């Protein structure tokens, strides 16, 4: 069993090794004079981009060395499950995947007040027709049959383990280490995405860097609130075997995170990032609370 002294030196060696690996990495960030906020899909990048466009003389989006001399590099965090779902739905709501008529129905809350199974039994023939089409589309997208390509639920916006756009390449250290990449770097701070528009944070940000002092973060690219509850309703009814009987569908709502043999690397990556987020929230010294 290693002594406290040995564990301490092992920790120092690990940190040195991580720092050496990260020296070649870049950070995609919205930058002022000495404070940067990382850019990442589903992490406020549209909001930050709009703010930079309003003051392009003081703020800019650029690539900087991950190991840098900024006084503060801010990494935005959020619930990993919510990040995954939001990204997955954005991928799904592309015209190439989901038809415009189904998109419109979801965005207007078509199944919000009536369950999927109830809609199938409706006296309204149009409702029955729309619901059958929705079920058929969901089955086609999520069925585990050896033919369907399910990679889309882990691509682009749905890469729940990514916290900066520069880490999207699979061979990137940031891709492998996720949030762990930044936790041991003294000038890296962590902020909840929901606090980006918090007046207390904006005041603090302006005090650290005058480039940001007039920032007004207005939330962009938010989907209608109707969408998530309807998808959850679909998956709840699927899990209860009320719909899609005989089909084996795969999703974060259904089984990916419950069956460790289905997508073991995905489950491992999810748990790893979830645990780091929880560690940051509970005990990281540079977790910003407002």
pLDDT surpasses 50 at 8: no
Q: Which pLDDT belongs to residue 9?
A: 46
Name the band, by pLDDT with cuts 50, 70 and 90, for residue 144: confident
What per-residue confidence (pLDDT) applies to 10?
45
pLDDT at 15 over 60: no
Could you report the per-residue pLDDT of 72-130, keeping only the tens digit for each? Answer: 999 999 999 999 999 999 898 887 888 999 999 999 999 999 999 999 999 999 999 99
- The rounded distance, in Å, linking the Cα atoms of 94 and 287 is 35
Maximum mean pLDDT: which of 64-78, 177-191, 243-257: 64-78
Percent of the chain scored above 90 by pLDDT? 61
The residue with tokens 């540079």 is: 286
Q: What is the mean pLDDT of residues 231-257?
A: 89
Instruction: With cut-offs at 50, 70 and 90, classify the pLDDT of residue 266.
Output: confident
Calculate the alpha carbon distances from 211 to 49, 51, 56, 205, 287 in Å: 14, 11, 10, 9, 22
Please determine, for residue 243, whether its predicted confidence score (pLDDT) is greater than 90. yes
Least confident of 3-7, 146-150, 186-190, 193-197: 3-7
Lowest mean pLDDT among 112-126, 163-177, 247-261: 163-177
Contact 153, 94 (CB under 8 A): no
Residues 6+ apart with CB under 8 A from 93: 103, 106, 223, 227
As a whole number, mean pLDDT of residues 247-273 equals: 81
Phi, psi of 73 (to 5 degrees): -110, 120
Average of per-residue pLDDT across 281-289: 97
Q: Is 44 left (phi over 0), alpha (psi -120 to 50) or beta?
A: left
């Amino acid at each position: 069993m290693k002594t406290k002294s040995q564990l301490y030196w092992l920790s120092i060696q690990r940190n040195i090794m991580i720092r050496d690996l990260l020296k070649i990495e870049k950070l995609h960030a919205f930058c002022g004079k000495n404070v940067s906020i990382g850019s990442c899909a589903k992490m406020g990048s549209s909001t930050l981009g709009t703010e930079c466009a309003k003051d392009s003389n003081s703020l800019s989006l650029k690539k900087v060395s991950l190991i840098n001399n900024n006084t503060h590099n801010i990494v935005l965090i959020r619930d990993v499950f919510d990040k995954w779902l939001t990204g997955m739905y954005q991928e799904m709501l592309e015209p190439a995947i989901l038809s415009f008529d189904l998109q419109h129905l979801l965005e207007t809350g078509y199944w919000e007040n009536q369950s999927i199974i109830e809609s199938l039994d409706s006296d309204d023939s149009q409702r029955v027709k729309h619901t059958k089409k929705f079920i058929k589309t969901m089955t086609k997208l999520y069925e585990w049959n050896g033919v369907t390509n399910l990679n889309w639920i882990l691509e682009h916006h749905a890469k729940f383990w990514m916290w900066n756009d520069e880490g999207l390449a699979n061979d990137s250290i940031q891709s492998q280490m996720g949030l762990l990449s930044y936790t041991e770097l003294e000038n890296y701070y962590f902020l909840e995405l929901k606090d980006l528009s918090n007046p207390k944070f904006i005041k603090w940000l302006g005090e650290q860097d005058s480039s940001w002092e007039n920032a007004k973060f207005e939330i962009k690219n938010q989907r209608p609130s109707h969408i998530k509850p309807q998808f959850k309703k679909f998956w709840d009814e699927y899990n209860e075997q009320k719909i899609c009987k005989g089909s084996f569908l795969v999703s974060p709502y259904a089984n990916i995170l419950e069956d460790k043999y289905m997508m073991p690397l995905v489950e491992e990556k999810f748990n790893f990032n979830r645990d780091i987020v929880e560690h940051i929230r509970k005990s990281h010294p540079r977790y910003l609370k407002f």
